[in-house]
Amino acid sequence: MDVDLRKLRYFVAVAERLHFGRAAEALHIAQPVLSRQIRALEEELKVQLFVRTRRATELTPAGEQLLADARPLLASAEALRRRVGRAARGADVFTVGFMPGLIVTPAVQALRERHPELTVEVVRTTWNDQTETIHDARVDIGYVRLPIDQRGLRVRPLMSEPRVAVLPTGHRLAGKDVIGIADLADEHLLQDPYAVPEWRDIATELRRPGRRRAELLFHAVEEKLEHVAAGHGVVVVPLSVMAFYTRPDVTYVPITDIPPNQVCLAWDSTRRNPLIGEFAVLAADLQSVSQVPGRQRR
């Protein structure tokens, strides 16, 4: 049996939203059409994917398994489409992804100098899509921040940096030289708790059913800082992120008793593009030089 990728995309849209109406809006199709496509997929697979009641839509165990398998399959299909399109256009492009706070210019310039005919582009990524952009070929290699799902990737450590708590300037902890993660136990975290497992393990609000305010979780750095400044909560970020986004209405304090953030290079383990390995070596060499006191790249 051949699985229809269009039906899989429709399924993922519903599975991620658990709402047929909102999924239909996102897909720009009528809800009855979407329902028919999902029923057709269930008939093809001979399983039930959703349990629908008047009040909710939930995934069945078969649906949960299909969602886990469908995402990488769709990403691979999208990557294939992008690569074939580039080949058809004769485009000689190499794309580097990078997380906020990271400077990739030296390595990008070095690759351009080695290959003047090559167009080297950069794409800013987020915690949510830093690996997705690699799997679907939006980027050839990415500067990523751990933790990530490393399945299907090759990962090369690059550097580590301290993490800091970002606070509004009038916060009770503002002005301290350092703090421990326990000092943040009663705070509201404006990011995914799994990104800060040390806080998650001690957080007061996570031990109170119904107290977690999911609507105040943000992904873009700029959004997080706006809400920190407004006093809605705090975030924990790598030092370079805060240094890059300095503003007068927030401050940061180093957290001494949690591990540093690990920055790595990552790329699709199935790719055989020699430029990927060349860029990885350049980036690692330039990072090593930048960490030697008194030395600068000429």
pLDDT tens by residue, the chain, 298 residues: 677 889 999 999 999 999 999 999 999 999 999 999 999 999 999 999 999 888 889 999 999 999 998 988 888 787 777 777 766 655 588 999 999 999 999 999 999 999 999 999 999 998 889 999 999 889 999 999 998 999 999 999 999 999 999 999 999 999 999 999 999 999 999 988 888 999 999 999 888 765 554 445 677 889 999 999 999 999 999 999 998 898 999 999 999 999 999 999 999 998 889 999 999 999 999 987 665 444 333 2
CATH of the domain spanning 163-254: 3.40.190.10
**Where exactly does CATH 3.40.190.10 map onto the chain?**
92-161+261-290, 163-254
pLDDT, residue 290, reads 66
- The CA-atom distances, in angstroms, between 254 and each of 33, 57, 78, 260 are 53, 43, 41, 11
Q: Is 115 helix (H, G, I), strand (E, B) or coil?
A: coil
The Cβ of residue 154 has, within 10 Å, a number of other Cβ atoms equal to 18
State both tokens at 265: 């290079």
pLDDT, residue 3, reads 78
pLDDT, residue 291, reads 57
Domain 5-73 fold is: Arc Repressor Mutant, subunit A (1.10.10)
Rg of the chain over Cα atoms, rounded to whole angstroms, equals: 22
**Where exactly does CATH 1.10.10.10 map onto the chain?**
5-73
Which ranges in the chain belong to alpha helices (H)?
5-17, 20-27, 31-45, 61-89, 105-114, 132-135, 197-200, 221-229, 239-244, 274-290
pLDDT, residue 91, reads 53
Are 284 and 265 contacting, i.e. CB atoms less than 8 angstroms apart? yes
State both tokens at 107: 């390595």
Report domain 92-161+261-290's class: alpha beta
**Dist. CA 98–CA 195, nearest whole Å:** 18
Q: Note if the pTM is more than 0.85.
A: no
